[in-house]
């Protein structure tokens, strides 16, 4: 049995839906389909509730949302069409009540926000299921809150409670599958044990798909997108970049976390626990085998498989001459940042300073957080924007002599100054920061060093 996940760009147009329907129909094995919201819909919902609105604005917003989804069922006919339109209408009405509530109370709690955001997936599941039904598949839209996709209560970034998910969703989905039904399940959200809807983080439908595969013991998880798979580097920066056939779970997680937007980093965790492979597939090139992510092994003698990056990071340094002697200094800094939801990419420490890399967009939150503790924790601080974080990944990096030296020699040969290095925490990845203006040069230098031209690369494998 398979889980097939379709991202937002696979659901937005008639042409994409034609392709999705073709892919699902040509899969003869039993399958559960998992969907994201159509592209742009989650952002639209998020923007809409981000500021106070007039009643008239709600009507305009919902009209556009309804039309957008009704348009994508234009090829659906007869009963399937009637059902789809009724279901879309029912969802929009529910959302309307919710938005009026938010407008009247002038209050948006994290709980209500998650509930609002979940509507993108609720609508896209209806659209795809109706399209599949129209094309002869017995498809039924199913919502993860009703199925019992149980999570903790971290709204906006909830974590699935895998045992409970398995207990709840496993039997229900199995029963449906036994009847020949293809469940079309909503991604992105779940529900707490107390019954509040939670979302699992932006782009989190990959994670939903992995939790569902875990719950029904499906293998593999197919992630359908508009690219072939993970690449050796961003092809926009390196013209010789090529697709990677295979990655370990750790390699994929590091690459996903550090900039490769192919897979959500958290999807790896449930998959890994049961040894379920994840396959990246291209809706526009379904013959391509894609990148397979599974149990790790060193597959290249040169170790490095890919180099990814986060383009805009800032370095936050907190100074304290006595830091080396005080226990908890690093913990105090990371916890004050996490209270403001500042995400830390990497951290290094010395006896007098803690340096962390954060997203440039989060500088205001970081300042707010650190100002509160300076004087107690740390004597002074500085935040410097304008860096880029580079991540080199390869199973075996942590225990193969000379690889790090080759990385940094290549970078130095390009006359690039390396600012902050963090290595050793992961045995499959090194991260370091450089000035943003040197990003392309750095990535190209590393790629050339390890992959050379296409011909050299083949020899090295
Ligand atoms: N629709 C959600 C988002 O845009 C989840 C996803 O696309 O995977 O973040
Ligand atoms: Mg999305």
Instruction: Name the residue of 189, 204, 264 whose CB sits within 8 Å of the most ligand 1 atoms, as the mutation to test its pocket.
Output: 204
- Which residues belong to CATH 3.30.2130.10 in the chain? 306-460
Q: What percent of the chain has pLDDT over 70?
A: 97
What residue ranges line ligand 1, CB within 6 angstroms?
Answer: 8, 36-37, 42, 120, 187-188, 202-205
Domain 306-460 has CATH 3.40.50.300: no
Residue 221 contacts residue 213 (beta carbons within 8 Å): yes
Residues of the chain with CATH 3.40.1160.10: 2-226
Summary mean pLDDT of the chain:
93
In CATH, what number does 2-226 get?
Answer: 3.40.1160.10
Q: Please tell me the number of the ligand nearest to residue 201's CA.
A: 1
How far, in Å, is the centroid of ligand 2 from the Cα of 384?
31
The 8-class DSSP code of residue 96 comes to H
Which positions ≥6 away from 124 have C-beta within 8 Å? 8, 11, 35, 36, 37, 38, 41, 69, 186
Per-residue pLDDT, 324: 72
Q: Which atom of ligand 1 lies closest to the CA of 205?
A: 8
d(CA 238, CA 241): 6
| Mean pLDDT in residue range 430-443 | 95
- Give mean pLDDT, residues 143-170: 97
Q: Which residues surround ligand 2, an ion (CB under 5 A)?
A: 8, 36
In our burial notation (b when 16+ CB lie closer than 10 A, e otherwise), range 205-238 reads: bbbbbbbbbbbbebbbbbbbbebbbbbbbbeebb
d(CA 242, CA 186): 33
Mean pLDDT confidence for 218-233: 96
**In Å, what is the CA distance from 396 to each residue of 249, 260, 391, 399, 439?**
13, 20, 15, 6, 25
Nearest CA to ligand 1 atom 8: 203
Provide the pLDDT for residue 453: 62
Would you state the pLDDT for residue 425?
76
Phi-psi region of 195 (alpha: psi -120 to 50; beta: other; left: phi over 0): left
- Torsional sign, CA 89, 128, 42, 270: positive
| Residue bearing the CA closest to ligand 1, atom 6 | 203
């Amino acid at each position: 049995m398979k889980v097939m996940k379709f991202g937002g760009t696979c659901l937005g147009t008639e042409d994409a839906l034609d392709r999705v329907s073709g892919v699902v129909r040509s899969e003869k094995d039993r399958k559960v389909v998992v969907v994201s919201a159509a592209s742009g819909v989650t952002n639209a919902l998020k923007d809409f509730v981000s500021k106070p609105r007039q009643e008239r604005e709600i009507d305009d917003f919902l009209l556009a949302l309804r039309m957008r989804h009704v348009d994508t069922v234009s090829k659906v006919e007869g009963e399937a069409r009637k059902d789809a339109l009724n279901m879309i209408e029912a969802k929009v009405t529910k959302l309307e009540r919710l938005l009026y509530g938010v407008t009247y109370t002038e209050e948006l709690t994290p709980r209500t926000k998650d509930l609002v955001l979940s509507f993108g997936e609720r609508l896209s599941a209806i659209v795809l299921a109706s399209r599949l039904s129209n094309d002869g598949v017995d498809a039924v839209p199913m919502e993860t809150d009703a199925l019992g996709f149980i999570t903790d209560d971290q709204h906006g970034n909830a974590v699935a409670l895998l045992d409970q998910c398995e207990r709840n969703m496993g039997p229900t989905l199995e029963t449906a599958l036994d009847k020949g039904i293809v469940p079309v399940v909503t991604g992105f959200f779940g529900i707490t044990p107390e019954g509040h809807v939670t979302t699992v983080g932006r782009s989190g439908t990959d994670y939903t798909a992995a939790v569902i595969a875990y719950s029904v013991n499906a293998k593999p998880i197919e992630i359908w997108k508009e690219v072939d798979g993970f690449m050796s580097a961003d092809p926009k920066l390196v013209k010789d970049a090529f697709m990677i056939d295979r990655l370990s779970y750790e390699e994929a997680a590091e690459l996903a976390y550090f900039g490769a937007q192919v897979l959500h980093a958290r999807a790896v965790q449930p998959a890994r626990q049961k040894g379920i492979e994840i396959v990246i597939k291209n809706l526009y090139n379904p013959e391509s085998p894609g990148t397979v992510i599974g149990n790790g092994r060193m597959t290249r003698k040169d170790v490095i498989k890919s180099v990814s990056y986060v383009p805009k990071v800032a370095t936050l340094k907190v100074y304290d001459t006595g830091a080396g002697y005080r226990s908890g200094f690093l913990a105090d800094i990371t916890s004050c940042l996490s209270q403001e939801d500042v995400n830390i990419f990497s951290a290094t420490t010395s006896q007098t300073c803690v340096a962390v890399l954060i997203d440039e967009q989060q500088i205001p939150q970081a300042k707010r957080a650190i100002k509160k503790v300076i004087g107690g924790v740390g004597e002074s601080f500085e935040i410097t924007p304008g860096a880029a974080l580079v991540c080199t990944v390869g199973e075996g990096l942590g225990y193969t002599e000379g690889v790090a030296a080759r990385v940094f020699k290549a970078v130095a040969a390009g006359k690039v100054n390396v600012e902050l290095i963090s290595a050793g925490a992961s045995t499959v990845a090194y991260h370091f920061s450089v000035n943003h203006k040197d990003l392309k040069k750095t990535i190209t230098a590393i790629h050339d060093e390890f992959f050379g031209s296409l011909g050299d690369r083949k020899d090295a494998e």
